[in-house]
Amino acid sequence: MASSLIEHKRINTTVARAKALKNFIEPLITRSKVDSTHNRRIAFRELRDKFAVTELFRTVSEKVGDRPGGYTRIIKMGNRLGDNADMALIELVDFNEVYETAKPKKKSRRRGSKKAAAVAVETETATEEVAESAETVAAAPAEEVQKADTAETPASDAAADEKNTEE
């Protein structure tokens, strides 16, 4: 089972076997951090599989080099249908891509951030522009507005009269 765990990085088994496997494999992974002939021979004595030993000392030891312990994770999966045994998934912690990609983003502070300051400046300039345009409309003399209205109405009446005569 230890060889399968090293080769496949995760296996399904019963909870009792997963706990026993964890106690068996963790010291081997700790030994694999120091690649020496003595440590390789001890690992081969336990695993009896040269491909698993090679994988352990190449890829697994590189990933767990900075981790002080806790190289495996046991996740309980429920009961098996045939005999109702408690099942578990045992996996090497550093080889799970799901947990690596789903890291939560750090929350940013709302008060005093650069983005909030930039948005506040933009809204202030927009409100100033709206206020200036409102002042210019209010400052226009009412007589000019009335003259513009009267100048438009005779022209529109003349255009309407022309349409009626054509019909």
Identify the pLDDT of residue 50: 96
Of 101 and 76, the structure prediction assigns the larger pLDDT to 76
**What digits encode the pLDDT tens for the residues 2-47?**
999 999 999 999 999 999 999 999 999 999 999 999 999 999 999 9
Identify the pLDDT of residue 81: 95
Spatial strand order in the sheet of 10-14: 10-14, 86-92, 72-79
Name the residue among 116, 58, 63 with its Cα closest to residue 91: 63
Two tokens, residue 124: 């202030």
Identify the pLDDT of residue 97: 78
Q: Is the pLDDT of residue 92 over 70?
A: yes
Identify the pLDDT of residue 162: 54
CATH topology of domain 2-101: 50s Ribosomal Protein L17; Chain: A, (3.90.1030)
Identify the pLDDT of residue 96: 84
Q: What is the pTM of this model?
A: 0.59
Q: Find out whether 87 and 79 touch, Cβ atoms under 8 Å.
A: yes
Cα angle: 6, vertex 18, 11; to 5 degrees = 45
- Domain locations in the chain as residue ranges: 2-101, 114-166
Q: What percent of the chain has pLDDT over 70?
A: 59
Q: Is the pLDDT of residue 136 over 80?
A: no
Query: What DSSP string runs through the chain?
Result: -HHHHHHHSEEEEEHHHHHHHHHHHHHHHHHHTS--HHHHHHHHHHH--HHHHHHIIIIIHHHTTT--S--EEEEEEEE-TTT--EEEEEEEGGG-HHHHHTPPPPPPPSTT-HHHHHHHHHHHHHHHHHHHHHHHHHHS-HHHHHHHHHHHHHHHHHHHHHHHHH-
Distance CA 12, CA 70 (A): 18
Distance CA 12, CA 155 (A): 88
